[in-house]
């Protein structure tokens, strides 16, 4: 279906956003996401149960734990409940990006996030706040899988990794701000107001997702075009004893189904409703895309290294202060570890992105930086825990964390550029799901088991840190894999030339870019 001249003119200037405005908006949203993480962590630390003395004098509890009379197990669940929604919804939003405008999906997700954080403030018991914490994860899922592809689309060619690094730098910054914000608001007013404040701050971004002209990701057709030219896939399965082969019609070229094919589809699928067909088609597409990722050696190597890396970082964030206190008897161990992580996280993340852009943003160079920075970081962190002196530990550990955090930009660059444009949302979603399920979620309890067995925090910390060498080794293998930057590859939608010109709506001047070189 041809678009009208008015629509073409409208798409030539589709949005008020410039690339930098888009980056700033996504950074603010990302920071708010992690401010929420800091707020719930702050409540976990500062909350307490009510107590009663033998004489019958009782003191009211504080925070969420005190208000809902939670035990420590329940209190701990609240800090990780969002993971349930995040892990379930991330692949769903990534899959829907092929059928619905991704920018609108972010608007939907942020609306859910806003509702959920307000619900946390209005909750009345453990189960209600747990459900709202899960919904927070659902809202965040739309953003984490789609924001990075948008940034990568619109960043200058020579600064793609730097822009991604700025985006991911908001993670440690947001957590730190959330911890302070949650403590101040909870201490001076009530913990509920902290969540209400988050909802108010996110609301304008949720509204923007619906009222602004929707932006388009590279490799995805417009919604209007999809209605007129949709690939029809019939899923091979046995329905009422009849096996039906998959049929895929390249409707972007023809715009219609042949009469014979339509008759076959109608006769063989008469027992299925239109809604059932759509669900089956979505599941079929999703499974095909998952198989593509699983057989992509470059992507798989990148994610395996990221899992090992996140296993260590997750355990560091949970057990680091405890280990520091037990080994070096440091006072304010949580403050010290938190401060080192924030400073090193910001500067290390930014440095990693700028270095990769400087040496050349290719997948091969990204693997070189990932393996080299992680290997050197592991040496410094390992040496830190071997040190007998507190100040020696702080110095060595700070350098180690600077190097380790330099991986954030490059690892996500590989996730985005090792797959076709239409696969990028799913690649980001599955990367996030994998590093949590196999990385930071099991690492803390497993490290606790090791410590229970050894009863020696120095040895436990050294065993944990040694896993960084494994991550470096996995990423080093990636250097030797045949890698091709697929950023400019066509997606499966077979868009026409005028349609492709609209896929980079924010680039000022709509200038043509030089294709990025293939890596080998």
Domain final residue, candidates 219, 235, 257: 219
Domain co-membership, 188 together with 299: no
Q: Classify residue 415: in a domain, yes or no.
A: yes
Residue position matching structure tokens 């001076």: 188
Q: Classify residue 396: in a domain, yes or no.
A: yes
End-to-end CA distance of the chain: 41
Domain co-membership, 473 together with 372: yes
Q: Classify residue 246: in a domain, yes or no.
A: no
Q: Classify residue 142: in a domain, yes or no.
A: yes
Domain co-membership, 200 together with 95: yes
Q: Report the sign of the C-alpha dihedral through residues 347, 353, 354, 356, in that order.
A: positive
Domain co-membership, 134 together with 29: yes
Phi and psi (nearest 5°) for 212? -75, 150
Give the C-alpha separation, 476 to 168, whole Å: 23
CA distances (Å), origin 172, targets 4, 191, 212, 346? 47, 22, 29, 7
CATH number of the domain to which 457 belongs: 1.20.1250.20
Give the C-alpha separation, 302 to 519, whole Å: 15
Contacts of 333 (CB under 8 A, 6+ apart): 320, 321, 322, 324, 325
Nearest Cα neighbor of 397 from 339, 457, 449 is 339
Q: Classify residue 238: in a domain, yes or no.
A: no
- Give how many domains the chain has, as a whole number: 2
Position 459 scores a pLDDT of 94
Domain final residue, candidates 173, 188, 219: 219
Q: Classify residue 240: in a domain, yes or no.
A: no
Q: Is 322 exposed, middle or buried (0-12, 13-18, 19+ CB in 10 A)?
A: middle
- DSSP one-letter code for 239: E
Domain co-membership, 320 together with 181: no
Position 248 scores a pLDDT of 45
Domain co-membership, 124 together with 208: yes
CA distances (Å), origin 228, targets 11, 166, 247, 383, 490? 18, 39, 18, 62, 20
- Is residue 206 a contact partner of residue 200, using CB atoms and an 8 Å limit? no
- Is residue 355 a contact partner of residue 347, using CB atoms and an 8 Å limit? no
Domain co-membership, 159 together with 27: yes
| pLDDT < 50 positions in the chain | 1-14, 222-257, 262, 491-505, 507-520
Q: For residue 59, what is the enclosing H or E element? A: strand 58-59
Domain co-membership, 215 together with 293: no
Domain co-membership, 297 together with 213: no
- Is residue 41 a contact partner of residue 79, using CB atoms and an 8 Å limit? yes
Position 3 scores a pLDDT of 43
Give the C-alpha separation, 90 to 152, whole Å: 19
Domain co-membership, 166 together with 300: no
Q: What's CA 141's distance to the chain center, in Å?
A: 7
- Is residue 365 a contact partner of residue 359, using CB atoms and an 8 Å limit? yes
- Is residue 465 a contact partner of residue 312, using CB atoms and an 8 Å limit? yes
Position 463 scores a pLDDT of 95
Q: Classify residue 324: in a domain, yes or no.
A: yes
Domain co-membership, 375 together with 455: yes
Q: Give me the domain span that covers residue 39.
A: 16-48+61-219
Domain final residue, candidates 219, 235, 251: 219
pTM to 2 decimal places: 0.72
Position 290 scores a pLDDT of 85
Domain co-membership, 214 together with 299: no
Position 39 scores a pLDDT of 86
Contacts of 26 (CB under 8 A, 6+ apart): 147, 150, 151, 167
Q: Classify residue 490: in a domain, yes or no.
A: no
Give the C-alpha separation, 363 to 292, whole Å: 18
Residue position matching structure tokens 């990534």: 94
Q: Report the sign of the C-alpha dihedral through residues 258, 262, 263, 265, in that order.
A: positive
- DSSP one-letter code for 8: H
Max Cα separation, the chain? 88
Nearest Cα neighbor of 430 from 313, 317, 291, 316 is 291
């Amino acid at each position: 279906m041809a678009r009208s001249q008015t629509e073409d003119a409208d798409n030539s200037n589709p949005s008020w956003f410039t690339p930098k405005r888009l980056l700033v908006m996504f950074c603010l949203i990302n920071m708010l996401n992690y401010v929420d993480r800091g707020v719930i962590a702050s409540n976990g630390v500062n909350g307490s149960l009510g107590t009663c003395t033998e004489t019958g004098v009782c003191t009211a509890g504080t925070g969420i734990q005190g208000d809902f009379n939670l035990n420590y197990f329940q209190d701990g669940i609240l800090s990780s409940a969002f993971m349930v929604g995040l892990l379930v919804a991330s692949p769903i939003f990534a899959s829907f990006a092929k059928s619905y405008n991704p920018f609108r999906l972010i608007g939907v997700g942020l609306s859910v996030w806003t509702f959920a954080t307000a619900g946390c403030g209005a909750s009345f018991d453990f189960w209600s706040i747990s459900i709202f914490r899960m919904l927070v994860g659902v809202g965040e899922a739309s953003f984490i899988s789609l924001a990075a592809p948008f940034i990568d689309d619109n960043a200058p060619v020579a600064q793609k990794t730097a822009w991604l690094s700025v985006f991911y730098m908001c993670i440690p910054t947001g957590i730190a701000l959330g911890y302070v914000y949650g403590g101040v608001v909870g201490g001076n007013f009530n913990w509920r107001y902290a969540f209400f404040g988050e909802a108010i701050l996110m609301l304008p971004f949720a509204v923007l997702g619906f009222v602004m002209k929707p932006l388009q990701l590279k490799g995805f057709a417009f919604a209007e075009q999809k209605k007129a030219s949709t690939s029809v896939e019939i899923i091979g399965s046995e329905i009422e004893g009849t096996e039906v082969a998959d049929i895929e019609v390249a409707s972007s070229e023809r715009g219609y189904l042949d009469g014979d094919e339509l008759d076959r589809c109608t006769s063989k699928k008469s027992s299925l409703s239109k809604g059932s067909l759509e669900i089956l088609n979505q599941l079929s597409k999703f499974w095909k895309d998952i198989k593509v990722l699983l057989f992509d050696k470059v992507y798989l190597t990148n994610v395996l290294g990221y899992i090992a890396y996140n296993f260590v970082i997750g355990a560091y964030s949970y057990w680091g202060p405890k280990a520091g206190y037990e080994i070096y008897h440091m006072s304010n161990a949580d403050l010290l570890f938190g401060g080192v992580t924030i400073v090193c996280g910001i500067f290390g993340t930014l440095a990693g992105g700028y270095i990769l852009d400087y040496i050349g943003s290719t997948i091969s160079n990204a693997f070189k930086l990932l393996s080299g920075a992680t290997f050197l970081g592991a040496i410094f962190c390992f040496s830190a825990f071997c040190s007998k002196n507190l100040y020696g530990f702080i110095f060595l550990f700070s350098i180690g964390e600077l190097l380790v955090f330099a991986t954030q930009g490059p690892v996500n660059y590989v996730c985005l550029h090792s797959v076709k444009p239409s696969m990028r949302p799913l690649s980001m979603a599955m990367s996030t799901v994998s590093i949590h399920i196999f990385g930071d979620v099991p690492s803390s309890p497993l490290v606790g088991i090791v410590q229970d067995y050894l009863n020696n925090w120095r040895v436990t910390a050294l065993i944990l840190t040694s896993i960084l060498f494994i991550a470096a080794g996995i990423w080093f293998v990636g250097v030797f894999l045949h890698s091709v930057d697929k950023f400019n590859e066509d997606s499966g939608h077979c868009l026409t030339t005028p349609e492709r010109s609209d896929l980079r709506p924010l680039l000022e001047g709509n200038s043509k870019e030089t294709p990025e070189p293939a890596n080998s």
